[in-house]
Amino acid sequence: MYIYSSAGCIRPQPVNQSSYDYIVVGGGTSGLVVAKRLSENPEVSVLVVEAGGSVKDNINVTDPLGYGFAFGTDIDWQFETVEQQFAGNAKQTVRAGKALGGTSTINGMAYTRAQTSQIDLWETLGNEGWNWENLFPYYLKSEGFQVPAESRAVAGHLTYSPEFHGLEGPLLTGWMYPMTNGTLTSTINDTMKAMGVPWNQDVNGGNMSGYSIFPATINQDLNVREDAARAYYYPFQAKQPNLHVLLNTQVTRVTWDKFASIPTAQGVEITSSNGTTSVIKANKEVILSAGALVSPLLLELSGIGNPDILSKHGIETVVDLPTVGENLQDQMNNGLQFNIANNFDGTEKNTMVVYPTAGEVFGERTSSVSARLKASLPLYAEKVASINGNITSASDLLEFFQLQYDLIFDREGKSTQTPIAEVLLYESNGVWDSEYWGLLPFSRGNVHINSANTTANALINPNYFMLDWDMTEQAGGADFIRRMYTTAPFSDLVGSEILPGFKSVPQNASVEQWSGYLKSSYRSNFHPVGTAAMMPREKGGVVDADMKVYGTANLRVMDASVLPFQVCGHLVSTLYAVAERLADIIKGGHI
């Protein structure tokens, strides 16, 4: 067993302690933030246990234009879902990073936050103190925004509002150099204007809707990906000798203090890469940051969860918390492709994004779509409850669904400012590609252990396309893209539609006509959240507003599992901010 500690560059050293004050399970996006911040106090020792290794020099990670290079390699967990019964029964692959830095080492590097109302919703649910106003300072605290030079900003349409960005935080954000020249951005802007979609000066201030050029997590001067390890670990290795990292080591469960009156984590059981198993003790706390598809499994393997599931696998119940692993929410990712007309020179590679609202997607149909959704909510709640074994009651689900509805539509059924789709646009291998996803599906699934064997595959079931809104939203996104490609002036640069093509999905297709194509060509959007949700226990929460697991003295979860609802932005910006705030909560003082 080897430990990587503060002594300069990454170099294996024998484990030198059998106990640490804090043990963070998973050196990923969230885990490294918490570990770095806790170890700012030189009096405490912090150990991060990470299943993967260091990828500091892995070109598949560092190359900012190398999105996808790491897929299918040994740093990709490549989780597999069960057959998706509402989407043609095919299984799906859900990617996640297995490396120091976690999924931030393989992701698309987009840095976009959330709609203010989405974060405020967390407080409405009963999580005191979790609202946009309180979280916003932590978005700024985590961020080291690299201000683009004015000439670059003008040439590349890189608009931003300085007050929405932190300059001193560890996580570098900004724009890649080669992305900032060309005229396509303004052509699309004129097209968006023609479609009634405004330019959004900065998607990171709490209003995401509109058309924008989004920043990335990037070190623009080195031209390398900025992942969690580059932001929150490597620069502090030498300065914070009390921050230790144990790589290539898998945590298999939490161990408990047999003599404590309430369940108290005593440490973690680990398996090293050579297969040896041992226990490391935690003097104060264990924090699970293994990701939304693993942290709930570690809870179950440690005896926290649904007693029916635990007993089936011979695991003694430590805390009866049946919603562990429930409330899984992911999004579905589809794409449309078009030929490029000869008059486009193909040189611009800006990070263009459109976040249309329900009104912009559905147009005149908005009130009928909203009425139908509203009327369907009780049915949705019944359906989700029954398919998921009534672990979360239909009445609780109905409450969540009404809150989610209120994000999208107001009381009169009109569209709010919350976007319902993310639409990307880029030129790739000589064609126009528009990848997109509906942002707020109502489907809820789950993830559970399938064995007490810690290395066995889990049962991952996002229930993609379970509810008809999810298809309505996804088909609406496809319609929106077709309009975008056929609206001037962008239409001048577009040839014929390649995918799906009008033979496969006719012009002005109905939702039903879209569904065959969308279900046969979708993939996971790789944004699983909600499986150890921060909510009051009586509503099905797994962690409280301090991310402490209900019924335990000193076990917390901090990763995408705790987000009770999906957010409209990509996840890392919000996870960095939430983890920053949690670190302050643990340290005993927060903004």
Decide whether 464 or 514 has the Cβ nearer to ligand FAD: 464
Residue 165 bears catalytic tag? no
Dist CA 492 CA 21 (whole Å): 62
**335 near ligand FAD, rule: CB under 6 A:** no
Nearest 5°: phi and psi at 190?
A: -65, -35
**559 near ligand FAD, rule: CB under 6 A:** yes
Q: Which of 58, 92, 104, 237: binder of ligand FAD (CB under 6 A)?
A: 104
**110 near ligand FAD, rule: CB under 6 A:** yes
**23 near ligand FAD, rule: CB under 6 A:** no
**142 near ligand FAD, rule: CB under 6 A:** no
Report the DSSP pairing between strands 319-320 and 304-305.
Answer: parallel
Region of 25-33, 53-61, 272-280, 354-362 interacting with ligand FAD (CB under 6 A): 25-33
**28 near ligand FAD, rule: CB under 6 A:** yes
Residues 6 or more apart whose Cβ sits within 8 Å of residue 334: 435, 436, 437, 474, 477, 478, 518, 521, 522
Nearest 5°: phi and psi at 470?
A: -60, -35
Token pair for 109: 């590097």
Decide whether 269 or 584 has the Cβ nearer to ligand FAD: 269
Token pair for 48: 């991060």
Q: Which of 3, 23, 26, 401: binder of ligand FAD (CB under 6 A)?
A: 26
Decide whether 290 or 475 has the Cβ nearer to ligand FAD: 290
Q: Please check whether residue 358 is in contact with residue 370, taking contact to mean a CB–CB distance below 8 angstroms.
A: yes
Burial class (CB in 10 A: 0-12, 13-18, 19+), 46: buried
Binding mask 521-540 for ligand FAD (x = CB under 6 A): -----xx-------------
Decide whether 548 or 570 has the Cβ nearer to ligand FAD: 570
Q: How many CA atoms lie within 13 A of 327 on its CB side?
A: 31
**225 near ligand FAD, rule: CB under 6 A:** no
Closest CA to 337 of 435, 443, 454, 195: 435
Question: Smallest distance, Å, CB 29 to ligand FAD?
Answer: 3
Decide whether 62 or 250 has the Cβ nearer to ligand FAD: 250
Residue nearest to ligand FAD (CB): 28
Does the annotation flag 254 for ligand binding? no
Within 78-97, the residues that bind ligand FAD by CB under 6 A are 95-97
The SS3 assignment for 584 reads: helix
Residue 313 bears catalytic tag? no
Question: Which position among 157, 165, 570, 590 bears the catalytic label?
Answer: 570
**189 near ligand FAD, rule: CB under 6 A:** no
Dist CA 263 CA 261 (whole Å): 7
Q: Which of 4, 23, 24, 30: binder of ligand FAD (CB under 6 A)?
A: 30
Does the annotation flag 30 for ligand binding? yes
Q: How is the chain split among helix, strand and coil, in percent rounded to 5? A: 30, 25, 45
Q: Which of 106, 397, 408, 534: binder of ligand FAD (CB under 6 A)?
A: 106
The one-character DSSP state at 24 is E
**108 near ligand FAD, rule: CB under 6 A:** yes
Binding mask 392-421 for ligand FAD (x = CB under 6 A): ------------------------------
Decide whether 27 or 500 has the Cβ nearer to ligand FAD: 27
Which residue pairs from 276-283 have beta carbons closer than 8 angstroms and sit at least 24 positions apart in sequence? 276/1, 277/252, 278/1, 279/255, 280/18, 280/19, 280/20, 280/23, 280/47, 280/49, 281/18, 281/19, 281/20, 282/19, 282/20, 282/21, 282/22, 282/23, 282/554, 283/19, 283/20, 283/21
**174 near ligand FAD, rule: CB under 6 A:** no
Dist CA 310 CA 318 (whole Å): 10
Single-letter amino acid, residue 392: T
**251 near ligand FAD, rule: CB under 6 A:** yes
- Dmax over Cα atoms in the chain, in whole Å? 75
**Residues taking part in catalysis:** 527, 570
What residue numbers does the annotated binding site cover? 29-30, 103, 251
What residue numbers does the annotated binding site for FAD cover? 29-30, 103, 251
Q: Which residues bind ligand FAD (CB under 6 A)?
A: 25-30, 49-52, 95-99, 102-104, 106-110, 250-251, 289-292, 294, 526-527, 559-560, 570-573, 575
